[in-house]
Structure 1
Amino acid sequence: MPKEIMKDQIDVAVRRSPKYSVFMGLGAILGVLVAGVLTLFVDPAAMPTGYTVAKGAGLLLLVLAVGGLFLGGLLAVLLDWIGRRKSRKYRVDAEIDMVDDPKEIARRRIAEANGEDPDAGVTSVDTSMGEAADGNRPDSDSAEDEPRNEAPSSGV
């Protein structure tokens, strides 16, 4: 089956984009470090009754870690917005493989997922469908003699 390839030029935009998870993680870590430093300056005698330094440190950790997470995400959004404004536009040549057969598309995707070349070893599925498991075609006489879809007879 010959492949039809459509050649065209498409416009693409290339830009730098931050990884949001890295910025948010670093913001949370920075919030935890700031909470640890602020805990060092807490005077236990000045704390109200029922509160300990550990409870105050836990509250600071929670608030500043979540705040750092938020601020890191906000910084990533701002950097992404700036990166979109500085994106470069290019026109590139594209080759689009025109395949209409869904079986062929599925075979190619499976081959690519397995790390194989989708164009190598093209075999026809239709030729092997009529063969039995041992590779021999059943005889037409013996196949007609066997009963099909009949209920088992009772020996009574």
Structure 2
Amino acid sequence: MVEACDGPAIARLATTADTLRPLLQPDEPIEVMVVAGVGAVSVRRTMVTAVVTGILSGGTMMLAVRPQSMYIALTDRRLFFVDVNRLSARPPRMVMEIPRNAVRTEGLRKGPLGLTLRTTLVDGSERGLTMVFAHPAKADGRALTAALPQLSREIR
């Protein structure tokens, strides 16, 4: 997982692990830690943002909306979501924690042009939580998805 990362990325992973350590039980190891975009952005919202910024800037600038990047840490008991703030030196902030036995995945799907992988976590609620793994993190996305139980095909 860490071999393909550059120096700052390794430092961010280490800082995130340090943030989670006080929350972990003594015998609870971090099995997988990945960076992923969490959530979904509708096509409509993307188009509206692009059009509005294009009009306001006179066509000199366009903005794209994307899911929020988070570190996802999987232990043998829980799944942690930690906010990634790459623009400041603020310490990472834990956003959410889900018991591992309450989560299933819908498997991996390729994103547009095959540059991303997508999966959805399902915890019994109506809507799942979509995670998008960018091209450099595809292997980590596969590792996380393989470590979690798959949703059976009959329920889909």
TM-score bucket (shorter structure): under 0.3
Which structure shows the higher strand fraction?
Answer: 2
Question: With structure 2 as the length reference, what TM-score do the two structures score?
Answer: 0.22
Using the size of structure 1 for normalisation, the TM-score is: 0.22
Whichever structure has more helix as a proportion of its residues is 1
- Bigger Cα Rg: 1
